Amino acid sequence: MPVSLIVTPQHAQHTHPQHPEHAGRIDAILHYLDAHPIAGLTCHDVRPMPRNVIHAVHDENYVNSVAVQSQQRGSQLWLDADTYVGGGSF
């Protein structure tokens, strides 16, 4: 079965100390996949999406909030119990 993994070098900025997903964990997963290839797995770089595509799955006000918050370098805003946005998220 084909599987896609979307990756970005920006994962190194994912460093909130209270969040279980962090750069070290992502690096470990990518290292493991390099050493143990999985049939059907393809890695793709993140690519910017037009707003209309994002709005197809997210409310426009939510998207705008994430965009504004991501411009405020050094700040982090929790969107829900396990999702946060910070500088460079958008």
Q: What span, in angstroms and rounded, lies between the C-alpha atoms of 79 and 76?
A: 9
- Give me the pLDDT at residue 73, please: 66
Q: What span, in angstroms and rounded, lies between the C-alpha atoms of 66 and 48?
A: 15
Look at residue 75 and tell me whether its pLDDT is greater than 80: no
> Residue 73 in contact with residue 63, Cβ under 8 Å?
no
- Give me the pLDDT at residue 35, please: 96
